[in-house]
Chains A and B, each alone.
Chain A
Amino acid sequence: MRLSPDQLIFWQHGFFVLNGTIMFTWALMFVLVAGSWLITRRLSTEQTRSRWQNLLEIVVTGIDKQIEEVGLPHPEKYIGFIGTLFLFVGLAALCTVIPGYEPPTGSLSTTAALALCVFVAVPLFGIEQNGIAGYLKSYLAPTPLMLPFNIISELSRTLALAVRLFGNMMSGAMIIAILLTITPFVFPIVMTALGLLTGMVQAYIFSILAAVYIAAATRSRAAKPEPAPAT
């Protein structure tokens, strides 16, 4: 019983291993890069445009609007990172309809890497917006007593991001694998559809949570509010 595509080895030489996770990730990267290069070769601003350009515009403006609604006022600064997270995790989930494919996000290495990217990106965006002193002072808000709890919450929400995505994708793949050995015909198709739904929801959740964390870090410190009148 294979827990993750890590155990599907294509080629091995000493320390270097080409396992299923890496191969499927490369295939996804190739599809994303080649597809968008092909579509954006001849962009048109007229009324008539190719349907692929239309599709990309819908996707990009949709992500733009979501980032704005979360509370980031200039979405073009963040859409590169957040949009890539959504597209990668979403495409990894969508391609489960292809037989023989296993989502690389079903391996803890991939999801831990994505969560580490978010963990590094949040301070980067925060420092770019508020400066180092401003960002570090946010750890002392609301009182300096909260400093250890703020640090722990940073680490734990990174861990939660990784385990949430890994658990959802791995459980979907595993349930389909188990059902295939029991009732081979109709039920695995239903479970594949459910896995598609949860995969897309998890892609959305991952990118929205990343956007929320970045918004919390880049919130500009408003002027100190007046102290409440003593009762």
Chain B
Amino acid sequence: MTTIAVASIVTAGITTGFGTMGPALSEGKAVASALTSLAQQPDASATITRTLFVGLAMIESTAIYCFVISMILVFANPFWNHVVTLGAGK
């Protein structure tokens, strides 16, 4: 029972920890290149801004996937619930 708890908590922490590193780096690169092109062509700022936001949302989704997995592991863990009902039945 403690094995499940320890494994769930450690995995939840590592999932969010590693899962948000990649998207953060790539979002930084995306915003940097958007700022460069805004400086070069300010009259296309509407298109650039819209494309930037759409791209940021797509990149953010992978971080959200990791966050959802962590939330499930911490708050709605099926293995933990199963073990708890087994223990309550005894």
Binding site for B on A (CB under 8 A): 1, 3, 66, 69, 160, 163-164, 166-168, 170-171, 174, 201-202, 204-205, 208-209, 212
CB distance from A75 to the nearest CB of B (A): 15
Residue of A3, A171, A212 touching B67 (CB-CB under 8 A): A171
Q: Which residues of A contact B54 (CB under 8 A)?
A: 205, 208-209, 212
Query: Complex: how many Å from CA A3 to CA B60?
Result: 21
The reply to whether A167 and B53 contact each other, CB–CB distance below 8 Å, is no
The reply to whether B64 and A167 contact each other, CB–CB distance below 8 Å, is yes
- In this complex, how many residues of chain B approach chain A with their Cβ under 8 Å: the count is 16
Q: Which residues of B contact A166 (CB under 8 A)?
A: 68
Query: Complex: how many Å from CA A174 to CA B64?
Result: 14
Query: Complex: how many Å from CA A174 to CA B28?
Result: 26
Given contacts A1-B75, A164-B57, A167-B67, 12 further A-B contacts (CB under 8 A): A3-B76, A163-B61, A163-B64, A164-B64, A167-B61, A167-B65, A170-B68, A171-B71, A201-B57, A202-B57, A208-B54, A209-B57
Q: Which residues of A contact B64 (CB under 8 A)?
A: 163-164, 167-168, 171
Q: Which residues of B contact A171 (CB under 8 A)?
A: 64, 67, 71
Interface centre among B47, B53, B57, B76, by most A CB within 10 Å?
B57
The reply to whether B57 and A174 contact each other, CB–CB distance below 8 Å, is no
Q: Which residues of B contact A212 (CB under 8 A)?
A: 54
Q: Which residues of B contact A174 (CB under 8 A)?
A: 71
Query: Complex: how many Å from CA A171 to CA B76?
Result: 14
CB distance from A106 to the nearest CB of B (A): 12
CB distance from A38 to the nearest CB of B (A): 32
Q: Which residues of A contact B39 (CB under 8 A)?
A: none
Among residues 22 to 52 in chain B, which have CB atoms less than 8 Å away from a CB atom of chain A?
46-47, 50
Query: Complex: how many Å from CA A66 to CA B51?
Result: 12
